[in-house]
Amino acid sequence: MLKTFHIGGVHPNDNKITADAPIEVFPILDKVYISMAQHLGAPATPVVAKGDKVKVGDVIGEPAGFISGYVHASVSGTVTAVEPMKDLAGKLVMHVVIAVEGDEWRPEIDRSSDIVRDIKLSKEEILDKIKLSGIVGLGGATFPTHVKLSPPPGKKAEFLILNGAECEPYVTADDRIMREQSEQIFIGGKIMLKALGIERGFVGIEENKKAAIAQMKETGKKYPELEVIILKKKYPQGGEKQLIEAITGRRVPSLGLPIDVGVVVQNVGTALAVYEAIQKNKPLVESVVTVTGQCISQQRNLSLRVGTSFSQILDAIGGIPKDAAKFISGGPMMGKAVSNIDASVLKGTSAFLMLTEEQTKRKEEINCVRCAKCIEACPMGLEPWLLNKLSRARRYDDLEKEKIYDCIECGCCLYTCPSNIPLLDIIRISKAEVTRIMRSRPKK
Amino acid sequence: MKKFIVSPAPHIHSEFETRKLMRDVLIALTPSLLVSIYFFGFSAIKLVLIGAGACVLVEYLIQKYLLHSKITINDYSAAVTGVLLALNLPPNSPWWLILIGSIVAIGVAKMTFGGLGQNVFNPALVGRVFLLISFPVLMTDWTIPESWFRPGVDAITGPTPLSIVKEGLASGLSMGEIFQQNNFSWGEMLFIKMGGSVGEISALALILGFIYLLIKRVIRPHIPVAIVLTIVVLTSIFHLISPEQFTGPMFNILTGGVLLGSIFMATDYVTSPMNPVGMVIYGVGIGLITVLIRYFGAYPEGISFAILIMNSVVPLINKACKPKRFAKEVK
């Protein structure tokens, strides 16, 4: 029997249209717009000024706090502006704009395709280098990787889980890297095991990625410390808490972190980035992005430089598709709607999805009929209909009792609701309010 | 410039839609409906059409002229109520009977509470019970399904198996004598000739509808299974203790609307619990009350009352029975 999580979940059509399209290197264009908010936490502080010459791999932003990260130049050329620009949602964020001149990389970066298997660095050196290479979690949350690999005092990791579930429909970036660079992923995983000082890990892959599973199992023979686990196709199989339960049977407590049950989860893309940073001295300056949606003719997987704008990608695929009505950065279940197509690709961007009005339009909301489908769908065992009702009445005390803070915002409730009630929209707002109230309480 | 949609995730939606779910209930009722048309001909068609039409019309009129609110008759829920009401009436009911029932069902039991999703009691059952209390003679005069397609005018009418038994026992006959005199046959009850309301002639047709609802994931099996199992267990116990006094499990399942009630009425979303444990408690409660009414109460059938009684405690059940949370403890 395939492993899976045990509460809730939905089965959207997976639409992995680009699964068989190899990763293509996207040409370097005239300009890149690199955001300083590439990671969760405080945006980086720019350390270059207009007119500076940079090479690929040069640091252009430094961390502005504990939860923050380095940002590197993804192209070589001249900095033409350091200024606030709109991100994909229209929020102003500091950006560094670089006009491209050639493609000159820092000399220490090894760009050959030779696989370096020997891990020479010590635990501390690894963590330090991961930090200096600006590596963030590429599974969606973009949490700085070195922080996640340094468990807080008193907490001990037992297992590492590499997340190759890729349960979001449409997205095939992880599928492709597992097929094309499986050994690098395993070495990246081994490096992370070393950084954590542990011996054992797993790679979880959803059953719908047959070729990736075959490739990873084959390569995995050489890496017995990382066991490949095939998971049932069910959304949100790649959710951190769900993945941990599926593979280890452990459940992360409310308001807790994976480390509370002795687990560290890292995306397979992050493992690849760690490999490149440690073994090839290459900071995180590229991103594999699935460009997809039934309305576009040229659906593909692209490897592109961080800072390439969505509009530049659109130009390259022949302009805005006629029927496109919604642009999404990421998958259709948890991705963000793009309101500003001049915004740029971040380290953590996994897909650029275009949906037609027919595919994405929300239907008219009608009364809740208590069909309980949201309860059946919620992977955290919550009652979305009730959270919606309590939220509309602003009953925050009751919402806290109903554990609204457990919500992982996976969207199963809204996806499933036959009455088209915007359950998650409303839950998200009151969840933020409840967590704020909880934080404001004096600590015991 | 062309405008693009910007809204929070998720950006796609499942195929579930309330009106489609309601439509699936109508589809699931079709086998039973066809069987009734086969046996009762025009009178069955007439009742279903009047029931559905009247319920939709009453909802429309109330929303348009009384509430001045949005018209929501296209969600099929009123139609479902109407069809269920029709299927719960004797086949030879006059047209005005179902008209009154529809007005009570939609006007009183649904719209006064605020329309779709707001009512406490199952509207079709409120309509039926209102008629049962107000017109007891008409409501217990059942056409015996015997010959095939014919106009309902000279149909043979008689009581249902359950009331035959109840009256027989009351007049001092033994269970064996009653069964012998009336020639009850299990095969007939299972497939076709179950004397009773329009919709419960064939147990098989009802079960077919149940399977359809399960496949289309319209309902979950908990409630019907809990009701039927409770009735089977309880009646088996009573029957074993005193077979002369209490009818057996098979007889009780196949008569008096147990299947129609547990598959189509007790599973009404709005008036049934939302969590699996609650669903089971609710189902057991309905089964228990049904058996008590049948054995010790004044009415031969009982399931309508049982469902309505349990409807009233659904909010409590929902409060008491929470789904299994993912996280067992708070950090």
pLDDT, one tens digit per residue, over A202-256 is 999 999 999 999 999 999 999 999 999 999 999 999 999 999 999 999 999 999 9
Residue A83 lies in a domain: no
In a domain, A415, yes or no: yes
- The number of folded domains in chain A is 2
Residues of B in contact with A327 (CB under 8 A): 4
What's the pLDDT tens digit per position in B55-85? Answer: 999 999 999 999 898 888 888 999 999 999 9
CB B106, CB B68: distance < 8 Å? no
Which of B4, B270, B327 lies at the smallest CB-CB distance from A370?
A: B270
Q: What domain range is A393 assigned to?
A: 373-440
Above 50 in pLDDT, residue B152? no
Q: Cβ B9–A371 below 8 Å, yes or no?
A: no
Element (H, E) at A416: helix A412-416
Q: Point out which residues pair with A93 in neighbouring strands.
A: A85
For chain B, the straight-line distance linking the first and the last C-alpha, in angstroms and rounded, comes to 50
Does one domain contain both A162 and A204?
yes
Do the domain assignments include residue A82? no
Beta strands A59-62 and B157-158 are unpaired
Q: Is residue A264 predicted with pLDDT exceeding 50?
A: yes
Residues A85-108, mean pLDDT to the nearest whole number: 94
Q: Which of B199, B217, B194 is nearest to B52 (CA)?
A: B199
Do residues A357 and A407 share a domain? no
Return the axis-axis angle of helices B77-87 and B42-61, rounded to nearest 10°.
Answer: 140
Q: Which residues pair with B86 in a beta bridge?
A: none
Chain B residues inside the 8 Å CB shell of A12: 12, 14
Measure the CA–CA gap between B161 and B148, rounded to whole angstroms.
Answer: 20
The mean per-residue pLDDT over the stretch B281-285 comes to 97
Q: Do A366 and B116 touch (CB under 8 A)?
A: yes
How many whole angstroms separate alpha carbon B97 and alpha carbon B141? 13
> Is B148's pLDDT higher than 50?
no
Domain endpoint, select from A361, A393, A422: A361
How far is residue A365's CA from residue A230's CA, in Å, rounded to a whole number?
Answer: 38
CATH of the domain at A311: 3.40.50.11540
- State the Cα–Cα distance between residues B45 and A325, nearest whole angstrom: 46
Task: Tell me if A403 is assigned to some domain.
Answer: yes
pLDDT tens-digit profile of A46-65?
A: 999 999 999 999 999 999 98
CB contact under 8 A, B12 and A373: no
Q: Which residue has the tokens 């807080």?
A: A152
pLDDT score, position B41? 79
Chain A to chain B Cβ contacts (< 8 Å): 158
The C-alpha of A338 sits at a distance from chain B's nearest C-alpha, in angstroms, of 7
- Whole-angstrom distance, CA of residue A363 vs CA of residue A418: 10
Of A361, A391, A406, which residue is a domain's last?
A361
For A179-247, give the DSSP string.
Answer: HHSHHHHHHHHHHHHHHHT--EEEEEEETT-HHHHHHHHHHHTT-TTEEEEEE-S-BTTTSHHHHHHHH
CB contact under 8 A, A403 and B325: yes
Residues A295 and A216 in one domain: yes
pLDDT at B150 over 50: no
Report pLDDT digits (tens) over B82-132.
999 999 888 888 999 999 999 999 999 999 998 888 999 999 999 999 999
Closest partner CB to B326 (pick from A363, A381, A411): A381
A383–B77: do the CB atoms touch at under 8 Å? no
What would the DSSP string read from start to end of A240-306?
A: HHHHHHHHH---PPBT--GGGGTEEEEEHHHHHHHHHHHHH---S-EEEEEEE-TT-S--EEEEEET
| Nearest residue, CB atoms, A366 vs list B8, B11, B18 | B18
Q: Does a structural domain hold residue A97? A: no
Phi, psi of A331 (to 5 degrees): -85, 175
Q: Which of A212, A215, A185 is nearest to A201 (CA)?
A: A185
A427 within some domain: yes
DSSP structure string for B8-22: PSP----S--HHHHH
A36 pLDDT more than 90: yes
Q: Is there a contact between A237 and A243 (Cβ–Cβ < 8 Å)?
A: yes
Query: What's the pLDDT band for B1 if we cut at 50, 70, 90?
Result: low
Q: Check whether B146 has a pLDDT greater than 60.
A: no
Residues in chain A: 444
Instruction: Say whether pLDDT at B324 is over 70.
Output: yes
Q: What whole-number percentage of chain B has pLDDT above 90?
A: 56
Q: Provide, rounded to the nearest whole percent, the portion of chain A with pLDDT above 90.
A: 91
Cross-chain Cβ contact B21/A414 below 8 Å: no
Question: B1, B3, B5, B279: best mutation site toward chain A, by most A Cβ within 10 Å?
Answer: B5
pLDDT given at position B149: 42
ipTM confidence score: 0.90
Query: What mean pLDDT is predicted for residues A188-211?
Result: 95
User: In this structure, are residues B231 and B292 in contact, taking their beta carbons and an 8 Å threshold?
Assistant: no
DSSP B329: S
A243, A163: one domain: yes
A254 and A137 in one domain? yes
Distance between CA atoms of residues A240 and A334, nearest Å:
14
Among chain A residues, the shortest Cα distance to B2 is held by A325
Contact residues, chain A, for B115 at CB < 8 Å: 367
What interhelical angle do A423-440 and A384-392 show, nearest 10? 70
CB contact under 8 Å between A333 and B9, yes or no, is: yes
Minimum distance, in Å, between the CA of residue B44 and any CA atom of chain A? 29
pTM of the model: 0.90
Question: So what's the pLDDT on residue B177?
Answer: 72
**Banded pLDDT at B183 (limits 50, 70, 90):** low
Residues B53, A84: Cα–Cα separation, whole Å: 62
Kindly report the nearest CA distance between residue A404 and chain B, in angstroms.
11
Closest CA of chain A from B145, distance in Å: 36
Is residue A317 in some structural domain?
A: yes
Beta strands across the sheet bearing A200-206: A226-231, A200-206, A159-164, A263-267
Q: Are residues A337 and A393 in the same domain?
A: no
H helices present in chain B, as ranges: 18-40, 42-61, 77-87, 95-102, 123-134, 136-139, 161-170, 175-182, 186-191, 203-215, 222-241, 249-254, 258-260, 276-296, 303-311, 314-320
Cα separation of the two ends of chain A: 45
Question: What is the distance between the alpha carbons of residues B211 and B222, in angstroms, rounded to a whole number?
Answer: 13
Q: Where are the domains of chain B?
A: 18-139, 220-320
Out of A361, A381, A414, a domain closes at A361
Contacts of A325 in chain B (CB under 8 A): 4-5
Going from the C-alpha of B3 to that of each of A309, A325, A326, A354, A425, the distances in angstroms are 19, 8, 9, 14, 22
**pLDDT of B6-16, one tens digit each?**
999 999 999 99
Dist. CA B105–CA A186, nearest whole Å: 65
- Name the residue among A49, A114, A45 with its Cα closest to residue A282: A114
Closest CB to A254: pick one of B115, B116, B327: B327
On chain A, the residues whose CB falls within 8 A of the CB of B63 are: none
Same domain, A182 and A161: yes
Report how far residue A266's alpha carbon sits from residue A277's, in angstroms, rounded to the nearest whole number: 15
User: How far apart, in whole angstroms, are the C-alpha atoms of residue A230 and residue A210?
Assistant: 10
Residues paired with residue B143 on neighbouring β-strands, in sequence order = B157
The predicted model gives A315-334 an average pLDDT of: 91
For residue B178, the model assigns a pLDDT of: 72
Handedness of CA A108, A109, A115, A116 (dihedral sign): positive
Which residues on adjacent β-strands are paired with residue A228?
A: A203
pLDDT at B232 over 50: yes
Higher pLDDT, A322 or A385: A385
- Computed over every residue of chain A, the mean pLDDT equals 94
Q: How does pLDDT run across B197-215, given as a tens digit for each residue? A: 777 778 889 999 999 999 9
3-state class of A361 per DSSP?
coil
Q: Tokens 């949609």, residue? A: B5
Are residues A176 and A22 in contact, defined by beta-carbon separation less than 8 angstroms?
yes
CB contact under 8 A, B4 and A326: yes
Residues in Cβ contact with A124 at an 8 Å cutoff, skipping those fewer than 6 apart: none
- The verdict on a CB contact (< 8 Å) between B330 and A255 is yes
The answer to whether position A96 is within a domain reads: no
Distance from CA of A58 to the nearest CA of B (A): 35
Q: What is the pLDDT of residues A151-174, one digit of tens each?
A: 998 899 999 999 999 999 999 999
Query: pLDDT per residue over A117-152, tens digit each?
Result: 999 999 999 999 999 999 999 988 899 999 999 999
Nearest to B247 by CA among B161, B172, B183: B161
Given a cut of 60, whether residue B188 has pLDDT beyond it is: no
A418 and B16: CB-CB below 8 Å? yes
The B-side interface with A (CB below 8 A) comprises 2, 4-14, 16-18, 20-21, 72, 75, 77, 115-118, 220, 269-270, 272, 274-275, 322-331
